Structure 1
Amino acid sequence: MSQKTYYSQGSSFPATKPGVLRIYSMRFCPYAQRTRLVLNHKNIPHEIVNIKLKNKPDWFLALNPLGQVPVLQIDDKIVPESTADCDWLDDVYPENRLQSADPYRRAWDRVLTEYISKVSASFRGALLSNDPSEIQTNIEGVKKHLQFYEDKLKARGDGPFFGGSKPCIFDFMFWPTFVRLPFIAIIKENPAANIDENEFPTLETWAKAMKELPAIKDDGFDIERQAKFFRGHVKGAPDYDMFLGK
């Protein structure tokens, strides 16, 4: 099935195939990107069904009443939500393990994942505000929360990844948020929002290492295209078909 087709209200349910893993996704969604990255990093065969989130099919809401992507499906098993998805994938497809064998480190990876909401709140606060003072406050909030990650990664001392010499599940949880932070500078035309690599040198080394991972390269993230989609999303008119075939 074409990964470039979007399903919306009124569309027919695309029949599943026995034993074939499917992800219900949306190309511009950071949460769906998390699961796609884990699928690709672990080389798990799968198919993609893209959903128009502003005009969801009824059959998709039956799969996940929350109406959110990502959702994984294989036969009669359905797993929604990116953190649950990625944990489940790592357990069911244990090769190239992403979760630490150390219970303490695994617990802290979950803490780090929960803290992403702090970054996201400041990020969205800066993007959705038109008040210069509020935008600046949220930019400072983003950098404050990045300092938290800078300090935690530096303290681990076995990088370049949060997982050490190899990425762990948190690396793929954080990347979709981190890589979208330049939206603020682009959309608000505010150079002060740019992340100074000298201010966060450990995160800069991490980002360079992440960009070299095949899963990251294959995902084809383009910041300008993503920002263009986000502008439409904020206005309530997201163009899901943007750049299809390109």
Structure 2
Amino acid sequence: MRPILYSFRRCPYAMRARLALVSAGIETELREILLRDKAPEFLEASPKGTVPVIVAKDTVIEESLDIMDWALAQNDPEGWLNFPPEGRALIAECDGPFKTALDRYKYQNRHQSDAELERQNASVFLRKLDAQLGKKPYLYGDHPTLPDMATVTFVRQFANTDRAWFDTQDWHNLRRWLDAFTESERFAHIMGKYPKWQAGDPVTVFA
């Protein structure tokens, strides 16, 4: 029986989970969730009500990075787990200080924040990535690994907040890395559009 994946197309957390599932070759039953109208079955499986969530037999995995690790532990044909230990710290910096600044930049009205200040705060992390990407095509070598795919969806979200401004900044390595991702077949594959799921719908297989 396929694991069930509760997902939302545009969520960067759900996007990175889908990336790992595709890389690992794990078929799932995809259930697209509308965040403002969450299916009761989704909330029953994961009362916290955030995507992505994997339900695999009696196991429920509610964090996107845990889903990535779970998938790649089963199969890692592209070597995404072959990166140095400091890669975990980089992901933590993305998920912590960078994501906080990104949210306060993108959703300034909600947070009543200074968008310009938060954009500069977030840019500290982006300049760090840009410097690292000046050494190799990807963060830790000649092919993408988990740190690349666990951070790039959030960099995309930042860039799209004000793409005109983003493209004027002196982080050429970062833009090259981001563009390679957004123009890839893999990105197009994980961004397929699906209708909101509800009980009784035909099974949608995502692989």
Q: Whose RCO is larger (CA < 8 A, sep 6+)?
A: 2
Whether contact under 8 Å (1:72, 1:79) holds in the other structure is yes
Percent of matched pairs sharing the same residue: 22
**Aligned counterparts, 1:16-165, within 5 A:** 18=1, 20-100=2-82, 105=84, 107-116=85-94, 117-129=96-108, 134-154=114-134, 157=135, 159-165=136-142
Partner letter of residue 33 of structure 2? I
For residue 212 of structure 1, report the CA deviation from its aligned partner. 4.8
For residue 175 of structure 1, report the CA deviation from its aligned partner. 1.5
Matches of 2:112 and 2:11, distance apart in 1: 27
1:118-173 Cα offsets, whole Å, 9 max, x none, are 2222222122325999222122222222112223333xx3x211241111011111
Partner letter of residue 196 of structure 1? T
Which sections of structure 1, spanning at least 5 residues, go unmatched?
Answer: 1-17, 223-239, 242-246
Which sections of structure 2, spanning at least 5 residues, go unmatched?
Answer: 198-207
Corresponding residue of 2:176:
205
For residue 36 of structure 1, report the CA deviation from its aligned partner. 0.8
For the pair 1:214 / 2:191, whether they are aligned, the reply is no
Change (3 A) 1:42 1:53: same
For the pair 1:169 / 2:149, whether they are aligned, the reply is no
SS state of the match for residue 47, structure 1?
A: strand
Corresponding residue of 1:184:
161
1:194 to 155, 160, 166: 166
Whether contact under 8 Å (2:106, 2:158) holds in the other structure is no
Which 4+ stretches in 1 moved above 3 angstroms?
Answer: 130-133
Change (3 A) 1:86 1:195: same
Compute the TM-score of the two structures, normalised by the length of structure 1. 0.68
* Count of residue pairs brought into register by the alignment: 193
Compute the TM-score of the two structures, normalised by the length of structure 2. 0.80
Matches of 1:58 and 1:211, distance apart in 2: 33
Whether contact under 8 Å (2:5, 2:53) holds in the other structure is yes
